[in-house]
Structure 1
Amino acid sequence: MTVLDIIAILIFFSGLFIFINTFYLKLPSSIGLTIMALSLSLLVLIFGLLFPQFHLAEHVKQYDFEEVLCQFVLSFMLFAGALNIDFKKLGNQLIPVLVLSFFGVLISTLAIGTLVYFLMDLMNIDLHYIGCLVFGALISSTDPVAVTKTIRNHRLSTELENKISGEALLNGGVAIVLALVLVNVYKEEVVMGSVSIGGVSWIFLRDLGGGLLLGIFFGWIGYKVLKYIDNDDAQVEVLITLALVMVGSFVADFLSVSSMLVAVLSGLIVGNLGREKDGESAVGTYVYKFWQLMEESLAAMLFVLIGFEMLVIPLRLNYFAAGFFAINIVLFARWLSVFIPIRLMSMNRSFDGGTISVLSWGALRGGLPVAVSLSLFDFKGQEIIVTMTYVVVVCSVLYQGLTLGKVMRLYQNGHLEKAG
């Protein structure tokens, strides 16, 4: 199976499931796609047991997902999400969004990583502390597409809606970048058997510092090139942004810096400078529409991948038990990562009642954590991380996704506590 084969299969089932969900099931897209993908995977497993010679799961397990996920899906999704973040639209909610996105992810990562480390010790499962932090970072990523579509169906205050949508868009990029930097820390320090503060600091400085500089460079170059192209030439502008992501990812990998950070920063710079008055001709409307479509399409593919993940995860009872314990840890860490920053910021700014509850319960996990967990090629502890990610994401999509509407209605009716 080649990269194109995997992409073709995911696109086919994404389109088929979206059609069935839109015209027949009529569920929220993330929930409908997950249910159908899980059902298909279950049928494939049953068919494989009845006819072992046609067991598709064995072929899927042999495929290295790192190639298609890291080189295609993650960079494109992070660029698309960053491109659609409009700092001006956030207005006075920009500071809370940035604080929740950066410091919230750090708090969540540390809380999840530490608690999961003790959980692994109690369950006699071997997973290094940095591996637990990797899980904490990747599972802290929320799904902006699912969250944004959900809040549009409820009449929230403009301030709270901007907080939720802005934080969801930026949160994913921060969490995924942190997770992959921690993966590099593990591979270069733990595997070599010499974990040191200096070595860890150098990896963070190299990955994040180098990614920051390279992302700013490519973002600025992309903006300048797009500025000289007429918006009527939409196909040229789209091709330039595609080349920007792919070349940026290639150069970042070559220089051993964070390609995901390059994608995020390039998207932020091109997207926001392109909206300035003196840069009206820099980025045409069709470019934003194309990348919004790209983000939603890739998100649909990743929800299908969640179902297919059943074919590759090890069916070990203790791993699944750890996943169910991890659900409560993740929910607690999310609440903590929202509660602490908002309580501190509420000293000099006001927040709508119920902000903490809505932000905490509205953090739906999506395909990005699944993609990162499957891309951890040759990473000790990948199987337990993949299994826990699978359990947490599926429960988040089905349980939180189906009950989020009730939380929104409680907020609308004023039954939720005041947050500040």
Structure 2
Amino acid sequence: MDAIHPVPELVWAVFSLLLVALGVYLISRRTRLPFTVMLVIVGIAISYVGSNVPALAQVEETLRISPDLILFVFLPTLIFESSYNLDVRQLRHNSVQILALAIPGLLLSTGLIGVIVWQALDIDLLAALLMGALLSATDPVAVTALFRQIGAPGRLSTLIEGESLFNDATALVVSKILLTTLAIGALSANQLAGGLLSFITLFAGGLAFGVMLGYLTAKVIGWIYSDPILEIGLTTALAYLSFLIAEEVFQVSGVMATLGAGLTMGTWGKLRVATSVRVYLEHFWAVLAFTANALLFLLLGMQVDLNSLASVWDLVLWVILAMLVSRALVIFGLLPLVGRLPKVDPIGIGYRFIMFWGGLRGAIALAIVLSLPEYPFKELFVALVTGAVLFTLLAQGLSMQPVLRLLKLDQPPLADRLALLEREIIAHQRAIRRLPALHQGGLFSSRVTQRLNHRSHHAIEKAKKEIRQLRKTQLSHDQEFNLFFLRALTEEKSYYREMFERGHLSESVTRRLLMTLEHQTDTLRYNGQFHNGTGRLQYEYIEHWLFSRFSSTPLLHNLIERMRIARIGRYYETVWGHFQGSRHVLHSIDELASIESTPSDIVARVREHYTHWNHLATDKLHRLNHDFPEFALLMQERLGRRIVLLSEVETTREQARHGAIPSGAAEEIEAELLHQLKRLRGQPVQKIYDDPELLLKRVPLFAKLPARLLRIIANSCEPITLEKHDYLVHQGSHNDTLYIVSRGTVRLQHYINGEEHRLSTLIAGDSFGESALLGEGHADLSVIAQTPSRLYALSREQLQTLMEQDPELKSLLADSNAQQQIIHQHNQDMAPE
């Protein structure tokens, strides 16, 4: 935008075009014509009649399309919104084909267009290759907007959108190399090597920077609890700053940076956005993308100079022919070769034809050609690129929906059709349950109720009949099993998200559970096979070699212990989540089956798998509760505290709504409660008895000592780490040490005539060895770790040294009451289980 225009004229121009776009949008919804194509046509009309209408002429003069306007104003919004909503699982599954089209495919297209244009037009080969680079990159803005409106199949949309999002960096690099070559006048090996390095830097560097910035933004959003202004504002800043910093500071691809930021936020970061904000965020970006799309394509149409195009119409036809031929060779020649690679899902002929015909060009090509420096062919290139873009938007864009219908690709896949019929059944069942309440409320005709009830029953029967017809004609038994199993997995996935939103699962564990489900659904969806899934509950033993090797190192000991506790806590929470999720599906499976009258044998097979998973999780929970009882108690305590806090939040909102408490006070109370809930989110290990000072207070010998003396003794305690089945004390060995259990369980046992007698089991906070600390040093029992455990040890020598240094400690420990407590504790230790 030119800064010399007064602000009122700029505001007048922008919002006048926005009103025009809203009118076009309304017409597009009614006529089902592509919105972006209609915007271009209206833009051309505005440009054509602008000379006779002063108001339109003023708008056209105030807003002129420019490279900076496209790249720095419109593109960040459109790329971020598109990548944020992109199906990343589809993108990952088709990544080989997408990258093949975005890099070697674009290079091949550049060469083909360049050669054809070179032969047909009287220009140099290097200039013709530059034209090929300009027209080889499909436009993500045009493609995304069109395919979303016409409802293209999911995989097809991902293939075309993914290619158009990724090939922009390749086109920019090739354009820069060719511009440098044109300035020099010859192409050298050094230039090719430098161009390759430049491509890697621009492409990979931009993507890496965007992913990193998206990750940092998502981390910050995770620290904020349900604040729409901050969360939406941060994503807006992310979209633009990722583009600007990448382009202006690091000299890498801004498009790739914004793409990486959007993909990161749409996958890893979406879970960190508060549930109450997520809907606002999606609506905000939808409105922002609509505004950018509307203004961009109107300005694109206003850029078209029909007189200029008419003067070079024959050259435009050659460029269009070159563009179509090169696109056909890439799609129908390169893609089949890529489809033969291992683990690559081939693309059918129907999809390939749509990819050929749907390779639209748009604002990106115009931005590149308008940003070219002045040279003899620039004006010609602007006209030719404008003509080619206009052809793809009008001819290909307008015919895309009929072509999809002709190839029968406009029909939703079988799973979606079943889901739509299922929706019909559920909606009318709900209506049947609610209609009687209208009649019972009075002043509502029973005849109307009966008529509506009859219509709902008829709609349910019709939907069930269509389901039976699909099952009979298009659905094999294995396919139906896969579809029903996918529905069960979707139910489980939804439940995990609900548990996370309620704060019962941590973010890391929720991601892990969802990742497991996504692997399972991908196996079913893409391979048509069922993965048994027993590995999903495989016990993840702690890396014994790591802990045993470094736990005795003073500098790393505390770090290793924190890692060990965190690992056990995550594993416990994961197993608990599997237990809750499998139980929920088992409770819901009959309701899921009743909607579509799924055959009983399929329901039984799915129930068998979930029952097996639930039994595995139950066994693991029993084992973990036995091995790590403190984790179980702390998990239960955290869950109970969250339920109490959630009850307080609901009560506060209800009283504020009824006016029982002032709204300002309610907001403050709710904010504090939500803060406490956030602190409890996903923290199963809130407090482990790992402070030796706190542990010493639980020992009868030291229970009444002042804090100063406890601190002195605690500093002398030495941490000990044991693996499962490790012996701490052997019966008959010399022992003069007090041991306090910080984590895990240890068993005390006694051998008489070679026969084992188990005495007691100690858990976190328990202690043994008080008598050995003050008495004789021969152990009459063995101490064995039942689980990976951590203890603190205080030897008699250490205690005596402390007593000699502090007379008060010596006096207090000599108290006879303490001696009696020691004897009592020793008798308890020796009691059999």
Output the TM-score relative to the length of structure 2: 0.42
Q: Check if 1:387 corresponds to 2:379.
A: no
Are the aligned partners of 1:142 and 1:363 in contact in 2 as well (CA < 8 Å)? no
Structure 2: which amino acid aligns with 1:165? S
> How many Å apart are 1:126 and its aligned residue?
9.1
Per-residue CA deviation, residues 320-376 of structure 1 (Å, 9 max, x unaligned), is: 321122222222222222112332244364444522222222333333333333333
Q: Counterparts of 1:58 and 1:408 in 2: how far apart (Å)?
A: 36
Aligned partner (choices 355, 362, 366) of residue 359 of structure 1: 355
> How many Å apart are 1:178 and its aligned residue?
2.4
Q: Counterparts of 1:254 and 1:7 in 2: how far apart (Å)?
A: 31
Are the aligned partners of 1:362 and 1:404 in contact in 2 as well (CA < 8 Å)? yes
Q: Counterparts of 2:317 and 2:62 in 1: how far apart (Å)?
A: 25
- Which residue number corresponds to residue 407 of structure 2? 411
1:248-259 matched pairs, under 5 angstroms: 248-251=242-245, 252-259=247-254
Aligned partner (choices 12, 17, 20) of residue 16 of structure 1: 20
Question: Relative contact order: is structure 1 or structure 2 higher (C-alpha 8 Å, sep ≥ 6)?
Answer: 1
- The 1:207–1:341 alpha-carbon spacing in structure 2 relative to 1, beyond 3 Å, is closer
Are the aligned partners of 2:18 and 2:294 in contact in 1 as well (CA < 8 Å)? yes
RMSD (CA atoms): 3.7
- The 1:245–1:84 alpha-carbon spacing in structure 2 relative to 1, beyond 3 Å, is same
Aligned partner (choices 302, 306, 321) of residue 328 of structure 1: 321
Q: Counterparts of 1:413 and 1:134 in 2: how far apart (Å)?
A: 31
> How many Å apart are 1:42 and its aligned residue?
0.9
Structure 2: which amino acid aligns with 1:232? S
Are the aligned partners of 1:141 and 1:172 in contact in 2 as well (CA < 8 Å)? yes
Structure 1: which amino acid aligns with 2:269? G
For structure 1, which segment, 348-357 or 335-344, has the greater mean C-alpha deviation from structure 2 after superposition?
348-357
Q: Counterpart of 2:50 in 1: which secondary structure?
A: helix
Structure 1: which amino acid aligns with 2:108? I
- Which residue number corresponds to residue 236 of structure 2? 242
- Which residue number corresponds to residue 163 of structure 1? 155
> How many Å apart are 1:309 and its aligned residue?
0.9
- Which residue number corresponds to residue 202 of structure 1? 194
Which consecutive residues of structure 1, in runs of 5 or more, have no partner in the other structure?
A: 155-160, 415-420
Are the aligned partners of 1:79 and 1:266 in contact in 2 as well (CA < 8 Å)? yes
- The 1:201–1:394 alpha-carbon spacing in structure 2 relative to 1, beyond 3 Å, is same
- Which residue number corresponds to residue 374 of structure 1? 370
Structure 2: which amino acid aligns with 1:306? L
Per-residue CA deviation, residues 117-147 of structure 1 (Å, 9 max, x unaligned), is: 32223xx589724422332334576722333
Are the aligned partners of 1:85 and 1:272 in contact in 2 as well (CA < 8 Å)? no
Q: Counterparts of 2:213 and 2:309 in 1: how far apart (Å)?
A: 49
Per-residue CA deviation, residues 373-399 of structure 1 (Å, 9 max, x unaligned), is: 333354653322221222122222222
Q: Check if 1:33 corresponds to 2:39.
A: yes
Aligned partner (choices 398, 403, 417) of residue 402 of structure 1: 398
For structure 1, which segment, 216-225 or 388-397, has the greater mean C-alpha deviation from structure 2 after superposition?
216-225
Q: Counterpart of 1:111 in 2: which secondary structure?
A: helix
- Which residue number corresponds to residue 169 of structure 2? 177
Q: Counterparts of 1:397 and 1:406 in 2: how far apart (Å)?
A: 15
Q: Counterparts of 1:23 and 1:64 in 2: how far apart (Å)?
A: 25
- Which residue number corresponds to residue 76 of structure 1? 77
- The 1:218–1:400 alpha-carbon spacing in structure 2 relative to 1, beyond 3 Å, is closer
- Which residue number corresponds to residue 134 of structure 1? 133
- Which residue number corresponds to residue 302 of structure 1? 296
Q: Which one has a bigger Cα radius of gyration?
A: 2
> How many Å apart are 1:223 and its aligned residue?
1.9
Q: Counterparts of 1:207 and 1:106 in 2: how far apart (Å)?
A: 12
State how many pairs are aligned: 396
> How many Å apart are 1:197 and its aligned residue?
2.6
Q: Counterpart of 2:360 in 1: which secondary structure?
A: coil
Structure 2: which amino acid aligns with 1:184? K
1:36-185 matched pairs, under 5 angstroms: 36-45=42-51, 47=52, 65-90=66-91, 92-121=93-122, 128-138=127-137, 143-152=142-151, 161-185=153-177
- The 1:393–1:284 alpha-carbon spacing in structure 2 relative to 1, beyond 3 Å, is same
- Which residue number corresponds to residue 290 of structure 1? 284
Q: Counterparts of 1:392 and 1:341 in 2: how far apart (Å)?
A: 23
Q: Counterparts of 1:140 and 1:367 in 2: how far apart (Å)?
A: 7
- The 1:241–1:206 alpha-carbon spacing in structure 2 relative to 1, beyond 3 Å, is farther
Q: Counterparts of 1:172 and 1:14 in 2: how far apart (Å)?
A: 26
Structure 1: which amino acid aligns with 2:41? I
For structure 1, which segment, 167-176 or 314-323, has the greater mean C-alpha deviation from structure 2 after superposition?
314-323
> How many Å apart are 1:402 and its aligned residue?
2.5
Q: Counterparts of 1:342 and 1:119 in 2: how far apart (Å)?
A: 28
Q: Counterparts of 1:182 and 1:100 in 2: how far apart (Å)?
A: 15
> How many Å apart are 1:162 and its aligned residue?
2.7
Q: Counterparts of 2:12 and 2:374 in 1: how far apart (Å)?
A: 25
Q: Counterpart of 1:365 in 2: which secondary structure?
A: coil
Are the aligned partners of 1:78 and 1:260 in contact in 2 as well (CA < 8 Å)? yes
Per-residue CA deviation, residues 79-126 of structure 1 (Å, 9 max, x unaligned), is: 3332322322456444434434444333333322332232223xx589
For structure 1, which segment, 343-352 or 396-405, has the greater mean C-alpha deviation from structure 2 after superposition?
343-352
- Which residue number corresponds to residue 418 of structure 1? none
Are the aligned partners of 1:177 and 1:260 in contact in 2 as well (CA < 8 Å)? yes
For structure 1, which segment, 88-97 or 259-268, has the greater mean C-alpha deviation from structure 2 after superposition?
88-97
- The 1:143–1:108 alpha-carbon spacing in structure 2 relative to 1, beyond 3 Å, is farther
> How many Å apart are 1:211 and its aligned residue?
5.1
- Which residue number corresponds to residue 274 of structure 1? 269
Q: Check if 1:261 corresponds to 2:261.
A: no
Are the aligned partners of 2:106 and 2:137 in contact in 1 as well (CA < 8 Å)? no
Q: Counterparts of 1:411 and 1:64 in 2: how far apart (Å)?
A: 37
- The 1:195–1:125 alpha-carbon spacing in structure 2 relative to 1, beyond 3 Å, is closer
> How many Å apart are 1:41 and its aligned residue?
1.0
Structure 2: which amino acid aligns with 1:310? V
- Which residue number corresponds to residue 2 of structure 1? 2
- Which residue number corresponds to residue 417 of structure 1? none
Q: Counterparts of 2:78 and 2:170 in 1: how far apart (Å)?
A: 16
Q: Counterpart of 1:315 in 2: which secondary structure?
A: helix
Q: Counterparts of 1:413 and 1:130 in 2: how far apart (Å)?
A: 35
